[in-house]
Amino acid sequence: MSASEGGSRDGSSGLSRRGFLSSLGASAVTVALPVPLPAAPPPPQVVPPGEVTRVVLKINGRAYPVLVEPRWSLVHVLREVLGLTAAKEGCGRGECGACTVLADGEPRYACLTLAVEAEGMEITTLEGLMDGEELGPTQQAFADADGFQCGYCTPGQIMAAEGLLLTNPQPTPEQVRKALSGNLCRCGAYVNIFAAVERAAELRKGAGGDV
């Protein structure tokens, strides 16, 4: 319990649950400050529902031109528009991490990312870790270590682990716990997940450290 109360993630790889929360808190404070509002705020730009924008998303090394509403989340576009269903939507509001993808190599919640925002990012989903029909090393490690039960959080766990290992190939147990603290597992497979990340580090070392 004590461990969970403090601390944000060390290192720079991505957004931890707690990091996200503290940034939310900061913005809430800003809003609450008694700053006098300008007399006539500029009218907000409103995009009517149904109006679509063309974006080109780079996902798993391929370019996908898609028409999206500006309000659509990246996870919605991945799953329901492009049929890349490995990333799961567990909460839709940045609480569980089931939708974690890599954006330019860093773990990112695809439910809190708008598809229009993702233009220009190199997005990697769980599907992108595959080598044809072969599992990537991090995926193989999760299979070997039984690092899951129902498997619904697993794509997010694997992507969070992948993101960690990209920047920190030999993490300490404490670094692993923190890196995965933004990915909830209600089945409670955490101990096996930690073992899977440890095994992934070994497998990747054996594979020369590349993805």
Partner 1 sequence: MKRDEPHRYWVEEHELETPEPQQTPEPWDDTRVVGTRRPRVDAYERVSGSARYPSDVILPGMIFGAILRCPHPHARVRSVDVSAAQALPGVRAVISAFTPLSGALSAHEKLIRETLFPALCRYEGEDVAAVAADTPYIARDALRAIVVDYEPLPFVSDERDALAANAPPVRPDGNRVAAPAVYERGSVEAGFAEADAVVEGEYRTECEFHAPLEPHGCVAAWDGDSLTVHESTQGVFPVQNGLAAALGIPLSKVRVIGSYMGGGFGSKLSLGKYTTQAALLAKVSARPVKLFLTREETFLAAGNRPPANMRVKIGAKRDGTLTAIEYEATGTGGAFQAGGTSGLDFIVRDLYTCPNVHSELQDIFINAGPARAMRAPGHPQCAWAVEQTMDLLAGKLGMDPIELRLKNIPTVSQSRGDIPYTTTGLAECLRRGAEAFGWTAARARAKESTGPVRRGVGVAAGMWSSGGGGPPSTAIVKVFADGSVNLNLGASDLGTGTKTVMAMIVAEELWVDPDSIQIEHADTGTTQYASASGGSKTVPTESPAVRAAALEVKSQILALAAAQLGVEAATLELREGKVVTASGAPQEVRLAELRELRRAGVVVGVGYRGPNPQGKAVNPFAAHFCEVQVDTRSGEVEILRFLAVQDSGRVMNRTTYENQVRGGVVMGIGLGTTERRILDRGRTGLLVNRGWVDYRIPTALDVPPVLEVLPVDLHDKECNHTGAKGIGEPATIPTAPAIANAVFHATGVRITGSPITPAKVVDALTAQRRGD
Residues of this chain that interact with partner 1 (CB under 8 A) are 1-5, 17, 21, 49-50, 69, 71-72, 76, 79-80, 83, 85-86, 88-93, 95-96, 98, 125-127, 130, 135, 139-140, 142-144, 146, 148-155, 158, 173, 176-178, 180-181, 183-194
Q: How far is the CB of 109 from partner 1 (least distance, A)?
A: 12
Q: How far is the CB of 38 from partner 1 (least distance, A)?
A: 29
Element (H, E) at 30: helix 17-32
Which of residues 36 and 133 has its CB atom nearest to partner 1 in the complex? 133
Structure tokens, 96? 């569980």
Q: How far is the CB of 15 from partner 1 (least distance, A)?
A: 14
Q: How far is the CB of 33 from partner 1 (least distance, A)?
A: 23
For 18-50, b/e burial (b = at least 16 CB within 10 A) is: bebeeeeeeeeeeeeeeeeeeeeeeeeeeeeee
* Diameter over CA atoms, the chain: 64
Which of residues 167 and 175 has its CB atom nearest to partner 1 in the complex? 175
**Of 127, 126, 95, 99, which Cα lies nearest the Cα of 114?**
99
Which of residues 20 and 106 has its CB atom nearest to partner 1 in the complex? 20
Which of residues 74 and 184 has its CB atom nearest to partner 1 in the complex? 184
Give the integer Cα–Cα distance in Å for 86 and 79. 8
Which of residues 34 and 44 has its CB atom nearest to partner 1 in the complex? 44
Which of residues 13 and 35 has its CB atom nearest to partner 1 in the complex? 13
Give the integer Cα–Cα distance in Å for 178 and 78. 27
Q: How far is the CB of 183 from partner 1 (least distance, A)?
A: 7
Q: How far is the CB of 169 from partner 1 (least distance, A)?
A: 19
Give the integer Cα–Cα distance in Å for 209 and 16. 24
Give the integer Cα–Cα distance in Å for 102 and 175. 18
User: Any idea how long the chain is?
Assistant: 211
